[in-house]
Every structure is written in C-alpha cells, then in structure tokens.
Chain A
Amino acid sequence: MFKAISMRDPLLAVLLLAGCATASSGGGAPAAVAPRVEPLQLPAVSWSGEAQAVHLLNRLAYGPSPADLRQVQQMGPAGWIAQQLVPADIDDSAVEKRLADFPSLSMSTAELVARYPRAKKVAQAKGISLEGKSPEQMRAELVGVVEPFHLPRQVGAELVAARLIRAAESRRQLQEQLVDFWFNHFNVSADKGAVRWMVSPYEREAIRPHLFGTFRELLGAVAHHPAMLFYLDNWASTREGFNAPRRGRVGLNENYARELLELHTLGVDGGYTQQDVREVARCFTGWGIRKPNEDGSFEFHPQAHDRGSKRVLGVEIPAGGGMEDGERVLDLLARHPSTARFVARKLAQKFVMDSPPPALVERVAQVFLRTGGDLTATYRALFESPEFWSDTARAAKVKTPLEFTVSAVRALGGTTAGDVPMIQALTRMGQPLYRAQPPTGWPEVSQPWVNPGALVARIDFGLKLASGRLTGTEVPLPSVNGTPDEVVDRTARAILHRPLGEQTRSTLLAALGVSEVMPDGEQRRVDGAKLVGLLLGAPEFQNQ
C-alpha cells in the first residue's frame, strides 16, 4: 500500500547481524535459540530470583504465569529480556493456530467492508425499507435476513478476542505489551464511522510491524494509515477554498495536525504554536483515502494539496513539495528533542512508574536521540535502568482493566477465548477495547482506573473467574490439600508472589470459614474457588 512499511526489513537485518556477532557468549542460560541482541547489563538488585522474575513479568508481560515464571528464572532476567526484544525468534505457533479461527484478522479494509457490510446495506440490497423505524423495529426486521457473523461488529469481536488471546497466551509477551502501548499512543476508535473496518488492518499494518524498529517508521506507518486519516479527519482536510467533487467548497482541518504535535510527537509543552498547527495541517492536505466506505486504502490527492511554501517549527518547507511535505514534517518531528522526551516519559510511565524520575526520562530520551529513535535501544535503556529495578518501582502501578483481567487468567495458567463475558467485564471496568473515544487513548496512570464502580467490577470478575462462571475463560484451581493455613499461604504465594501479612491471612481464613478447629484437630476444607476469588480481588493483585 505504501513504502514506509517495507523500510523495516533492512533495519531488522542490520539488527540481526549485529546480534549474531555477540550472541555466542550466552552465559548459563539453557536457551533453545540464543537471543540475537547484545546481552543486557542489568543493575545489581538484592531481590530474590522470584521477585525479579515477578517484577519483570508484571511490567514486560501481562503478569506472571507459572510457565513464564519458570522460564524467566531459568534464563535469568537479562536473557529473557533479550529474547523478548526479538519476538520473531520466539515460536508462537500455538497462539497463531488459535488465531486462524478468525478470518477477519488477515483481511484488507476493502475485503472487510465487502464481507461484513452494515445491516442496513444488506437490508437495502434485499429490498427491505428501514426508513423511520426504531432500532428495535429494525432489529426485528433484520432477524433472519442478516447473518450475525457477517455484521461489522464481528470484525471488532475477532480483533478483541485476538488481542486477549495473545495477551494471555502469546509467548511474545513484550510484543503484546508494546502493541497495547503504541496502539494507545496512536489511538483510533472503532466507534468512529468507517474506522470499524480499518482498525484491524491498522493494528496489523501500522502498529505490529514497527514495534522494534525506529520511531520514524512507526510514525510514518500511522500517518499513512487510513484508520488514522479517517479518525482524525485528515482525509477531509484540503487547501483552503478547494472545490471538492460532491462535497463542495472545503478547506483545512487541523484535527490531525494538532494531535500529531500534541499527542504523537512533541507533547503539549513541546514548543509549537497555533501557527505551527496550521502549517502542519497545510503540509498534510491531500493525504486521503480512496473511497473510505468501500476501498479504504491510502491515496494522495494532488488537487486537494496546498502547493504553497510552509514554515514548520522554524523550518522552511519550500513550495511544490506535494506529498513529500508531510514526510518532511514527520522527519522533523521524529528527531525533535521534545519528541524524545515525550516518548521517553510515556514509556517510563508505562514500564516504571506513574511519575518517573526526570533523570530517567532524560537518560532514555538521550538514547532515543543518539540512536535516531531506535525503539529497541530505547526500551533497553529503560529495562537496564536502576529506576526500573528500584524498590520504589515495585508494585507501584495499578493494573489497567486489560492487565488485571489477563493477569488473573495467567496467574493460574488459565486460558481465554476472549469472547463476550471478557469484553463485558472490561467494559464494566471502563476499558472497552478499541473503543477509547479520545485520541489520548486509555490513561497510562492509575488514578482513573481506581473508582468504586470499577473496583466492584474487578472483585466481581475475580469471583466469577475462580468459580467457573466466566464462560469461555477458564482457570484451573490450585490444590487444597493440607491445613487451611498451608493452603492459604501456598495459594496466596502462587497468585500474589509475596508472603501474606498476619492480618490479611486471618481475614482470608475468617472469610473462608475455616478458622474454627474441632476438638480432634479437624478443620473444614478450604473452598479453593472462593480463596482464589478473594485473592484476585484483593488490593495486592490490583497492583503490578
């Protein structure tokens, strides 16, 4: 569709070559495939091996699963991170096989529009009039006419299911966390018009291939993608006074330009003016979409482009640049120090803590600048930082609803189909996936996720999951052999990975109704489902 995507390959080749030269000294790790990046230099920490693995999996993965916990402890944190930084080398065939059940995941927007048309369109084609009918009446009319699995909402349902399955079960855990981060950074909402057919290709084409490349490639892929062009209205933005076919006199739309500067690159205090916003918008006029509701691929419209000269952040962009004007702007922004700081800070918020120390942000930003926005090098700087491995970072973040639900499934080595009950649970907690309306995406910090309604929804989710009432998502319950004290301690350790406080233990024992000891020493057996439900809903499990 456009050239920017394929630029990653030579870079990857360079990365792989560089990695091969140093991979031979793999240390004591019993790795099947030696990681192809330079070994990481992690700061010395006094935590136990388990504590290190738990922290790592809480941040770079969707929480510890029994299998991943074992693997990190075997490979060591440095070895495991190195492996996660080259996801292509990790065999993920089990998950890929499951995703083969979702045909929409590999379709282009044009195919999706054709295959999953609006119900109204189907009705029209079959000669059914829906004019002036209420949604209920429409639904009644359409039953039996439209196949439910061929409605547009199926595209969203498959995308959510795939995201949840990957988050819970993919062995490329860092990749999945980064998909979450970068999709959110460059958010589009499936609720906005034609985006519903573009969002799946968007994640597949613009986000996933560029997670470990350069920021400029990622930025370019996003800027070109019809999902973003539609979501932030750039497709409708033209030079002032342009007489568009069928649309009449149209003009500049600043929406994308503003968010590009404010949310994608420089940050709100990154040093741009309102005049810059307008100039950037002028540069991007003509970046459009071929038939958004039908074809949905990128198309440059030279007639709609503003051919005059522009001045962006003090840099002259001469007249007549055509589509290259936009590329020039992206070049400027991708290497701007404000962008480096903005991206470094947001990554540090995601991976380290809500208010990252300025020194850490500055250090990571310098790596970003020095390496020309090499994302792998940037992540590395973060994971190697003493701040990442500091006591203040441990359990310092509240899990997002996505992280909470998926980490609950993983904690017990469970599995999910990512279907309706999971989606409903996420919605109740305030995170319906792919439907964040504002371009800011979901909040990266804790505050908005901690409120009474959401807390009740979280506790409820844990109880439902543990008692097998969350259809499509299952966790095996741990053994309840032993005395209640032993069972509670062992299960809490397996789920929370830290020793229980005396008060918490007695609260749990009391809630389980097992505190009472018979004269012959017999005690009631622990209800395993109830115990797991209590632990998943406990405050300690909301943190990561």
Chain B
Amino acid sequence: MSAFSRRHFLRGAGALAALGAVPGFLGRALAASAPGSGKTLVLVFLRGGADGLSIVPPVGDPAYRAARPTIALAAPGKEGGTLRLDDVFALHPALSPLLPLWSDRTLAIVHAAGLPGATRSHFDAQDFCESGTPGLKSTADGWLNRAVQRSGGPEGAFRVVAIQPTLPRMLVGDAPAVAMSSLGQFRMPGGPAGSSAFDALYAQAVDTALRTTGIETFEALREAGSAKLAQLPPANGAEYGGAPIARRLQDVARLIRSGVGLQVAATDMGGWDTHVGEGTEKGQLASRLAELGGALAAFARDLGPRWADTRVVVMTEFGRTARENGNRGTDHGTASVMLVLGGGVRGGRVLGGYRGLGRSELFEERDLAIGTDVRSVLWETVQAQLDLRDASRVFPGFSPGARVLG
C-alpha cells in the first residue's frame, strides 16, 4: 500500500473501524521497507529572491559590468575575484567550498531559470514555485508531495522530512510528511513513559487530523530515539560550522546516514532580499553564500558514499534586476540560478538558456529573461530520484521539453 493510500486509509471513512489494526499495520509496513537502499532528494529553498547574477555572475558578458557599476564582481584572477567556471560564467568567491564538487562534476548550475508568468511578488512567486502551478493559486497541495504520492518509496516515519518549523507548501498534501525545527528538539516529550501515554491518547483522538499526525509523530519519535539520530556525529571530517542552514543540512545527513528511509527532505534559508547594500566579494550576499556553500560542502563530505544516491536542488522564487538600483542593491526580477548537486549529476557545466544582459535580451528591459523552466529541472530531478514517469501528475499542465540536465 502506498503512503498516499495509507494516509487516505487513516483519514478515510473506514478509519474508525480499522483503527485497532493500525499500529500493527504500520509496523509491518515499516519492516517491509528496505530503509537505507534508496535515493534521496533534498530541496533547499532560498527565500527572498536570490540574485543569480551575483551567485554565478556572467563575467564574460560585456553588459554585466555596465549594468552593475558598483556591485559587479571582479573577474577571475583579480583581487577578490570570482572563480572561473567557463568562458562566460564564474562562481561567487564565497562559494569556493563548492569548487571541489564542480571539479568532480557533482555540481551543475542551471542559469536563467524561472517560472513562466513571472510575478515579482515574493509571496506569489514562492507559492507558485511550491504549488508547481504558476498562475494558479487554488492548488491545494505542493508539487513535491504529489511526486511522493506517486513514487513507490520505502514506507517509514522519516520518508519525507522538512527541517523547518512548519511544513513547506511544496510538501503539503496527502503523503505523510514530518516537519521539525531540528532533530535535537524532536524527542520524546516527558521521556519514554510520558511519550507512551501521549501515544495512547492520540491513538484515541476523535479529531482525525490529530489522530493521524499523532500516529506519525510517535512512530517517528520511536525511530528517532532508537537510532539516536540527533547524536550522530559528522563523518569523514566534515565541518558544518554554526550557521542555521548548516545545522539543518547536518540533520538531513543524519537521517540519510542512519538509513531510516529518507526519500525527500526540504529546508529553507532566508536573507536573500538584497534591495540595499548587496555587496560584492564581501558583504550581505557574500555572508549568506559563505554559509550556504560551507553547509553544502560539509553535507557532501559527511555523506561519503551516500552522496552518490543523493541529489540536492537549490532554488529561489525569482532573480533580481539586471541593473543595480540606486541603493547598491537589486530589486525583484525574474530568472535566477539553480544549483543541482549530487552523485547522479552530470555536473561541471553551466546549463540553461542564458541569453545575456543586453537591452534587447532582457525581459521587460529590466530582468534576466527566463531561458529554462524551473519545473524542467525539478521534474528531471524527481524523475531520477523518485523514479517517476508522468510529469503532468506532478506539474499539471506542464510538458517537459528537451532535457536540461542531460
């Protein structure tokens, strides 16, 4: 029985009658799964509209420096210079921890990615990125939940996890998903004795949503407790540092390494809305990138051999204006950059339909135009990690064109 039907089973009309059988059933489902053998997809959402043109600056585009007189990054080789990727693109120097991944081809960059029907509202743009249905706000569930519903993955309490306080929109839906601020805070309340009392109280709950969530919660708590997940130290000399995104990715790594059957993980990071004083090789954006780059590099290292089965997608809701504004920052724009990392990635390449920053190439004469639909990258990723075939079930109304990731 898939997770999709399990949730329906629990929430459906027959749930009350069948309730007595649930713990045993869940136990069997758990035992039948083969945790630790599957692939994992990790989604990192940069909230606020991250500036793709500073993260992976097109230093070889003559229009780049002209558009950004005070915040353009220096060419490779110069002081505070960027890191050369190819003839056009370079990497922000704060992302230097990612260079080894670029070199061993487990990091691919997709430039000029965005969603059609661009909106410059954070809120709408995030909503569309997470519902997977640009322009349609009434979509109830998230694309990543729909993807999970249709994949035959291992059934376990930690199959789908968000390391953030509330479940992100992309994971809302019929497939069970666990959200938590951190593994460290996710422990048996009141110790094992208190916890078993709450377990029983929630199993008897009249409210269906509370009962279902309770069952999922205590199942996950038992597993987290027995695996001592939160205590697992980093492997292979990985050093995460103290940034929030690093701690979150460390928790994801713990779930992957302990073989609890993690199939999909999501987390997010704020601080990308750089309207004022964006900075160059140092400054606001550089600080965020140093945290992100350091966390991703530590994560890859920590996973060791499991990195081969893991794929990370880093995305944001929109890019920022091609030209800098009057406050040495940038305003809400359209296309940005996506990072795709992991074992199965044919990396070491800047992909996507970047057209340039010349006046005629810009969208509405101000933004980097969309060359690649974000959904293409997301779809190819779920296809690879969750073994799906029908894109329209995950992204209704979307038909993927030519492959982006190759």
Contacts and interface: CB of A to CB of B under 8 A. Distances in A.
A365 interface: no
A455 B326 contact: no
Contact of B221 (A439, A449, A456): A456
A78 B96 CA distance: 67
B207 A543 contact: yes
B32 interface: no
Nearest to A503: B204
Nearest to B213: A450
Given A439-B123, A452-B179, A507-B200, A398 B209 contact: yes
B60 to A, nearest CB: 27
B393 interface: no
Interface stretch (B22-30, B104-112, B186-194, B337-345): B186-194
Contacts of B282: 132
Interface stretch (B65-73, B165-173, B375-383): B165-173
Contact of A450 (B123, B209, B220): B209
B272 to A, nearest CB: 12
A511 B122 CA distance: 48
A447 B185 CA distance: 21
Interface in A415-443: 427-430, 437-440
A428 B185 contact: yes
B190 A463 contact: yes
A126 interface: no
Nearest to A269: B138
Interface in B279-293: 282, 287
Given A430-B165, A437-B47, A438-B122, A504 B204 contact: yes
A454 B165 contact: yes
6 contacts: A255-B120, A398-B207, A427-B165, A452-B216, A455-B214, A539-B206
Interface of A: 132, 134-135, 244, 246-248, 250, 254-255, 258-259, 268, 395, 398, 427-430, 437-440, 446-457, 459-460, 463, 501, 503-504, 507-508, 510-511, 530, 533-534, 537-540, 542-543
Nearest to A463: B190
Nearest to A452: B217
Interface in B194-216: 194, 196-198, 200-202, 204-207, 209-211, 213-214, 216
Contact of B179 (A247, A248, A454): A454
Nearest to A432: B165
A537 B201 CA distance: 9
B180 interface: yes
Sort A-B residue pairs by CB-CB distance and give the 4 closest, nearest first. Answer: A453-B180, A511-B197, A539-B205, A452-B217
Interface in B213-269: 213-214, 216-217, 220-221
A530 B197 CA distance: 11
A448 B172 contact: yes
Contact of A452 (B47, B172, B180, B270): B180
Contacts of B166: 430, 448-449, 451, 454
Contact of B327 (A247, A259, A430, A437): A247
